Amino acid sequence: MEVVKVENVARVYQIGKLETQALRGVNLSIANGEFTALVGPSGSGKTTLLQMIGCLDQPTSGKVFINDKDVTTLNRNQRADMRRGTIGFIFQFFALIPTLTAYENVEMPLLLNGHTPKERKERVMELLKAVDLVDRANNRPDQLSGGQQQRIAVARALAPNPKLILADEPTANLDTENGRQVMDLMQRLNKETGVTFIFATHDPRVIGYAKRTVTLQDGVITKDSQSNGK
């Protein structure tokens, strides 16, 4: 079953008289449970494509389907609902709320989705255990290492049981060992939960984990290959 389908998507950015074509007629399908890397140099279009899939931006032309729903037809509020209920995000700079504890950061998507206190507690503790940070539940982000913050970000992304998780350069601000731990965690959760992961990266360490590598150059897909990953 396809979780993501991108059909002939183009994205043009207009800044004054300057026009930049970030994507040029991209076609891509991602099946349920895939662990896929979008790779390419800076300016290749991989982050723009991730934003299209994540309903964070709209294509200039073409269509994007998430679970067979054409998200290019949705209004702003409907796209927000799609992000909140179906898609989890992991960002390069962790994007944790600094005034909240690790527990509260993971809990936040569940609060927004109206879960009961009992449901929230069970789910948060389950996820903190999964990322091996139960003992850090009451720590704020500034009391956590970079690797710990990114593991909390992974737990938060998983909290509402999304069908799809998008990660933009998830190891860019981590040293080698913490980057390896985060990728090991994402890979394990992909296998255990079946959630689909798509991550944009140019880091060879991260690319090596991918079961599928989609290479972009100048806004087009130039290669799409399968591998065994790690």
**Minimal CA–CA distance to 210: which of 6, 3, 30, 25?**
30
Distance between CA 97 and CA 118 in Å, rounded? Answer: 22
Task: Please check whether residue 119 lies inside any domain of the structure.
Answer: no
Write the pLDDT tens digit of every residue in 119-166.
999 999 999 999 999 999 999 999 999 999 999 999 999 998 899 999
Write the pLDDT tens digit of every residue in 95-123.
899 999 999 999 999 988 889 999 999 99
Task: Please check whether residue 130 lies inside any domain of the structure.
Answer: no
Distance between CA 226 and CA 66 in Å, rounded? Answer: 22
Residue 34 pLDDT more than 90? yes
Give the pLDDT band (50/70/90) at residue 230. Answer: low
Write the pLDDT tens digit of every residue in 171-212.
888 888 888 888 999 999 999 989 999 999 988 888 989 999
Q: What range does the domain containing 189 cover?
A: 2-99+145-226
State the total domains in the chain.
1
Distance between CA 90 and CA 88 in Å, rounded? Answer: 7
Task: Please check whether residue 139 lies inside any domain of the structure.
Answer: no
We report the CATH number of the domain holding residue 93 as: 3.40.50.300
Task: Please check whether residue 90 lies inside any domain of the structure.
Answer: yes
Residue 93 pLDDT more than 90? no
Task: Please check whether residue 174 lies inside any domain of the structure.
Answer: yes
Task: Please check whether residue 134 lies inside any domain of the structure.
Answer: no
pTM score of the predicted model = 0.90
Task: Please check whether residue 113 lies inside any domain of the structure.
Answer: no
Q: What is the 3-state secondary structure (H, E, C) of the chain?
A: CEEEEEEEEEEEEEECCEEEEEEEEEEEEEECCCEEEEECCCCCCHHHHHHHHCCCCCCCEEEEEECCEEHHHCCHHHHHHHHHHHEEEECCCCCCCCCCCHHHHHHHHHHHCCCCHHHHHHHHHHHHHHCCCHHHCCCCHHHCCHHHHHHHHHHHHHCCCCCEEEEECCCCCCCHHHHHHHHHHHHHHHHHHCCEEEEEECCHHHHCCCCEEEEEECCEEEEEEECCCC
Tokens 């994205």 belong to residue: 11
Give the pLDDT band (50/70/90) at residue 7. Answer: very high
Segment 63-91 shows an average pLDDT of: 92
Q: How many CB atoms lie within 10 A of CB 3?
A: 22
Give the pLDDT band (50/70/90) at residue 17. Answer: confident
Task: Please check whether residue 198 lies inside any domain of the structure.
Answer: yes
- How confident is the model at residue 204, as a pLDDT? 84
**The token pair that represents 155 in the structure block:** 């737990």
- How confident is the model at residue 229, as a pLDDT? 66
